[in-house]
């Protein structure tokens, strides 16, 4: 199993209302329009990920799990890989419920998107809490 860990923090504009994506960005700002964004100031982006992790995720049969930890709250989203996942994005990473790919996409067919996250976890992020995102692939 390959694993990547990204640390970021919440922001007062975190609403986690998006129905098809969730995102963690390295940007240090967030507007209310960014309703898929869970956290900002990510310390790593897909472009930083180990080539072995990327290779493992480029398999259609790969199961990719995103574990989001915020204080006492933990949420797990599962999706799958695809040969078109490039992991070249250097600003943000995105999990998608759809099969759309771009350089930021880290998983497809996710169980749920931003709107599915526990509201207490989202409230903690809205208060600026630290977030740890662990991506693992099998």
Phi/psi at 55 (5° precision): -55, -45
pLDDT at 113 (0 to 100): 98
What's the whole-number mean pLDDT along residues 37-63?
98
Phi/psi at 39 (5° precision): -155, 160
2-137: CATH topology is Jelly Rolls (2.60.120)
Other CB atoms within 10 A of residue 63 CB: 16
pLDDT at 21 (0 to 100): 98
Pairing of strands 2-9, 130-137: antiparallel
Q: How confident is the model at residue 105 (pLDDT cuts 50, 70, 90)?
A: very high
Q: How confident is the model at residue 23 (pLDDT cuts 50, 70, 90)?
A: very high
Q: How confident is the model at residue 3 (pLDDT cuts 50, 70, 90)?
A: very high
> Closest Cα to residue 42, out of 28, 26, 31, 30?
26
pLDDT at 34 (0 to 100): 96
Q: How confident is the model at residue 83 (pLDDT cuts 50, 70, 90)?
A: very high
pLDDT at 60 (0 to 100): 93
- Whole-number Å distance between alpha carbons of 128 and 10: 4
Percentage above 90 pLDDT, the chain: 99
pLDDT at 109 (0 to 100): 98
Q: How confident is the model at residue 87 (pLDDT cuts 50, 70, 90)?
A: very high
The answer to whether the beta carbons of residues 13 and 31 sit under 8 Å apart is yes
For the chain, what are the domain ranges?
Answer: 2-137
pLDDT at 15 (0 to 100): 98
């Amino acid at each position: 199993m390959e694993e990547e860990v990204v640390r970021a923090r919440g922001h007062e504009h975190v609403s986690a209302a998006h129905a098809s994506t969730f995102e963690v960005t390295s940007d240090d700002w967030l507007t209310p329009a960014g309703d898929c964004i869970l956290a900002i100031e990510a310390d790593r982006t897909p472009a930083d990920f180990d080539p072995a992790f990327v290779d493992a995720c480029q398999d259609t049969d790969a199961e990719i799990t995103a574990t989001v930890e915020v204080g006492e709250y933990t949420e797990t989203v599962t999706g799958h890989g695809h040969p078109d996942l490039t992991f070249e994005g250097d600003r943000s990473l995105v999990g998608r419920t759809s099969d759309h790919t771009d350089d930021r996409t880290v998983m497809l067919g996710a169980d749920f998107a931003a709107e599915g996250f526990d509201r207490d976890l989202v409230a903690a992020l809205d208060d600026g809490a630290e977030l740890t995102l662990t991506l693992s692939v099998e």
